[in-house]
A and B are shown apart, each in its own frame.
Chain A
Amino acid sequence: MTAAISLHNVTLSYHRHPAVHHVSGQFQEGIATAIIGPNGAGKSTLLKAIVGLMPTPDGMVRFGKHKAKDIAYLPQQASIDRSFPISVLDTVLLGNWQHSGWFGGVSQKARAAAEAALIKVGLEGFGPRHIGSLSSGQFQRVLFARILLQDAPLILLDEPFTAIDTRTTTDLLHLIDHWRYEGRTIISVLHDYEQVRNHFSETVLMAKECVAWGATDVVLTRENLQRANVMAENWLENAAICHRDETPSTEAA
């Protein structure tokens, strides 16, 4: 198997306190990987670093055949002002960015693709509506439609189903299954172990450090989860400087 994204001893800190500490491992190409762990375990931080929204001064994020710009990224509770005067269709069409960029026109083909994406997420005919008129579940569907339009080989989702009802979650999980079937690489931060077991073959369990990384049924054990819960809580105001070996390790791979 080839790695779509590999992490080499990645440490990410806020004010020198690590949120992600010496994490190494490989996200396999064409596989759905779930990232789980308690709050504050550095899951979102890790995604941000992979997308390039955060510098990685310590360690390295390496891509396989795709680049950082081939990522479609859905942030946690997207910080979008939903009173913004923009229609559903235009929001989906942002996914056309790699083709249109700053100045390029939006082709009829892109428009048709956006309409098709809306149908796929169950929002047929919602195109002209203002995004402020949608429920949060419907808006999450719109953001998934935008990812559909981005047509990216790498898809990173940060807690996509938080505060979303069961029906919407089920529909969107079907989309994820379909992406996997199409051979895309999916990495998603999740909290629901049931979803992880049923839809993600690989799992990374994090608690600042990587607790376990591998096949989901091997990682999702009671001992591992307990260990993660304990590890995530140690935050010391006066922590000593970390002198751990900086050479890339392969233990967690």
Chain B
Amino acid sequence: MMTDLYALLWQPFADFAFMRHALVGCFALALGCAPIGLLLVLRRMSLMGDAMSHAILPGAAIAFIAYGLSLVALSIGGLIAGLVVVLLAGAVTRLTELKEDASFAAFYLLSLATGVLLVSKWGSNVDLMHILFGTVLAVDDAALLLVAGIATFTLTVLAIFYRPLVIESFDPEFMRAVGGRGALAHFAFLILVVLNLVAGFQALGTLMAVGLMMLPATSARLWTDNLPKLCVAALVLALLSGYIGLLISYHGNLPSGPSIILTAGLGYIGSLLFGSRGGLVWRLLKLRHLEA
């Protein structure tokens, strides 16, 4: 019995270095992505992560065409493209009457089209698939260092900017009225979003990285109304998704990225059904109302 459990839950990681690498990579990714995703949800920018994941594509594509499958080049390329989109969209939002989501939509579409154009002209579809979907099982030491470094940086910056970030999400008008420089916090946050997507694309691919960002955060929202608890819940869900997803991928001989995201998706469906704050099952049970 115990040996079965061991074989099921731990042996893959004990036997294979690439599985250990993948696990550590997923954990590091979860540490950075979960709180970022939570802030995106709270700012009602849930789709922004998705937009940004497309926006970094041309940078990665140019880097790929110029330098081949070099992690450093891909990351720097993606980072630059992401930052350009963030800054342009931010500038347009502040200088015109367009809302933030509209400016982001415009720039990420331009960026995505450029990326696809570049890859189809000078690369191959295989490359595009790699950039979009990544391979967590091929994470090497350099990639691990990058992901862990970004996670560390993210958590540090979030800890330092926690108050302005939360207040800017909660009541931006108040922040502006007291001269709190909320825009600065906002830009710092968007840069963190880009960084985490870049961290994710080697391991999970750009599209999948968004999943690890948004699904645990959205699920957590169905469990509690308290911000610190939300952070913990999102983080636990993200870590579990990484671990269980890798096991499923290993035992079922399935691609790792989608396995991890679908595991997070199961967590989301479970939360939708049983979440203590708005779970659907509680509604079906028709619990009688309280006295006061």
List residues of chain A with CB under 8 Å of any chain B CB: 51-53, 68-69, 71, 73, 75, 78-81, 84-87, 91, 94, 97-98, 100-103, 130, 132, 150
In contact, A100 and B163 (Cβ under 8 angstroms): yes
**A-B contacts, 17 listed (Cβ < 8 Å):** A51-B177, A75-B173, A78-B171, A79-B171, A79-B173, A84-B42, A85-B225, A85-B226, A86-B166, A97-B178, A100-B163, A102-B161, A102-B163, A102-B164, A103-B160, A130-B225, A132-B225
Q: Let me know if B187 is at the binding interface, CB within 8 A.
A: no
In contact, A80 and B230 (Cβ under 8 angstroms): no
List residues of chain B with CB under 8 Å of any chain A CB: 42, 44, 160-161, 163-164, 166-167, 169-171, 173-174, 176-181, 185, 224-227, 230
Instruction: Output the residue of A52, A75, A102, A103 with the most chain B CB within 10 A.
Output: A102
* Interfacial chain A residues near B163, Cβ < 8 Å: 100, 102-103
Shortest beta-carbon distance, B186 to chain A, in Å?
Answer: 13
In contact, B177 and A94 (Cβ under 8 angstroms): no
* Interfacial chain A residues near B161, Cβ < 8 Å: 102
Shortest beta-carbon distance, A107 to chain B, in Å?
Answer: 14
In contact, A85 and B224 (Cβ under 8 angstroms): yes
In contact, A68 and B226 (Cβ under 8 angstroms): no
A80 CB contact (under 8 Å) in B170, B176, B181, B226: B170
* Interfacial chain A residues near B174, Cβ < 8 Å: 73, 78, 94
A86 CB contact (under 8 Å) in B44, B170, B177, B181: B170
Q: Find the B residue at minimum CB distance from A129.
A: B225
Q: Find the A residue at minimum CB distance from B180.
A: A97
How far, in whole Å, are A98 and B224 apart by their CA atoms in the complex?
30
Q: Find the B residue at minimum CB distance from A97.
A: B178
Shortest beta-carbon distance, A17 to chain B, in Å?
Answer: 14
The B interface is mostly helix, strand or loop, or mixed, namely helix
How far, in whole Å, are A247 and B226 apart by their CA atoms in the complex?
54
In contact, B167 and A94 (Cβ under 8 angstroms): yes
How far, in whole Å, are A218 and B21 apart by their CA atoms in the complex?
79
How far, in whole Å, are A150 and B176 apart by their CA atoms in the complex?
15
Known: A81-B170, A100-B163. A53 touches B176 (CB 8 A): yes
Q: Find the A residue at minimum CB distance from B167.
A: A94
Shortest beta-carbon distance, A97 to chain B, in Å?
Answer: 5
In contact, B177 and A84 (Cβ under 8 angstroms): no
Shortest beta-carbon distance, A199 to chain B, in Å?
Answer: 23
Shortest beta-carbon distance, A230 to chain B, in Å?
Answer: 30
* Interfacial chain A residues near B181, Cβ < 8 Å: 102
In contact, B169 and A84 (Cβ under 8 angstroms): yes
* Interfacial chain B residues near A53, Cβ < 8 Å: 173, 176-177
In contact, A73 and B177 (Cβ under 8 angstroms): yes
* Interfacial chain A residues near B169, Cβ < 8 Å: 84
Known: A85-B224, A102-B163, A132-B225. A69 touches B171 (CB 8 A): no
Shortest beta-carbon distance, B100 to chain A, in Å?
Answer: 14
In contact, A86 and B180 (Cβ under 8 angstroms): no
How far, in whole Å, are A91 and B179 apart by their CA atoms in the complex?
17
How far, in whole Å, are A32 and B175 apart by their CA atoms in the complex?
25
How far, in whole Å, are A132 and B226 apart by their CA atoms in the complex?
11
In contact, B160 and A52 (Cβ under 8 angstroms): no
In contact, A68 and B173 (Cβ under 8 angstroms): no
How far, in whole Å, are A79 and B44 apart by their CA atoms in the complex?
13
Q: Find the A residue at minimum CB distance from B170.
A: A84
In contact, B160 and A85 (Cβ under 8 angstroms): no
Shortest beta-carbon distance, A113 to chain B, in Å?
Answer: 17
